Amino acid sequence: MKKYFYILSYPRSRSTWFSHFFRTNLSMCFHEALSGNNENAFNEQMVPWSERYNFVGSADTNPISLGRIKGRISGPMVMVLRPEEDVRKSLHRVFDPHPSFNNEEWEAYIYNMVDMYSIALEWYRLHEPELLIIDFKDLEDEQTLQQIWRHCVPVEVLPWSYIREMNNTRITVKRRQGLANGIETSLKYMDQDIDFFKKAHIDNYDRDKFKADFWREPDPEEDQKLKLVKSPKKREYMGSRNKAVLAH
């Protein structure tokens, strides 16, 4: 029986809610434990909790970062899919723009970010062996939530009263600067300035190039060579399934 499970989705698709839903006497679930830039996040965050809980999971909204995690042990995954345009509208509504972006740049950045996520999610949809795909609009259905629970924690049926109570719980975003703060974290980690970031994610964004990189088969020798090369070039993307992408 698999100990680790994963909830993967676009932003604004109940990931925070799921991290609370799976905090029970049997399971612990983090929020965005495997998103971000820490390649050792699995061993540092999830593994230590496996001694206290039978099942440990993370609900993440960054499928690009998830692909960079070292040592991730496979397990059941639930993918929540939501129409991309709805995701973009929700991001615009909930988060304030980064102060260095004008309106047109901010709109383009969000559009491209969601597009990158769609490419990554499609890869997981075709390659994850234990994947349950759920439509965002079906999350209000109690039977669907029980199905999700049983997919990740296949040893016990949740009380319907618990599902009903949790489904009536609404979690709101208080940090309207959350998306802008994420950009600042990325700038620091990638050793970039804001103009370089804009060029990479707006002006020079190439959907076909990003997809080709994310979907390529792993090449350990090539990845090792990349690590050994000291290049003055800054990395263009947050990362991919296998390696960082260098800007041209």
Give tens-digit pLDDT for 179-189: 898 888 888 87
H or E segment to which residue 25 belongs? none
| Residues in contact with 148: Cβ distance below 8 Å, sequence separation at least 6, in sequence order | 78, 132, 134
**Predicted pLDDT at 226:** 47
Which pLDDT score, from 0 to 100, does residue 47 have?
Answer: 94
Residue 218: the pLDDT is 64
pTM for the whole structure: 0.86
What percentage of the chain's residues is helix, strand, coil (to nearest 5)?
A: 50, 10, 40
Inter-residue contact 203 to 214 (CB < 8 Å):
no
Listed as ranges, residues in the chain with pLDDT below 50 are: 226, 228-233, 238-239, 244-248
Name residues whose C-beta falls within 8 Å of residue 156's C-beta, 6 or more positions apart in sequence: 26
Domain borders along the chain are: 4-167
Closest C-alpha among 179, 29, 169 to residue 109: 179
Helix (H, G, I), strand (E, B) or coil at 30: strand
Instruction: Give residue 123's pLDDT.
Output: 95
With CA atoms as reference, report the closest residue to 44 among 25, 72, 16, 65. Answer: 72
Say if domain 4-167 classifies as CATH 3.10.620.30.
no
Sign, CA torsion 173/99/68/49: negative
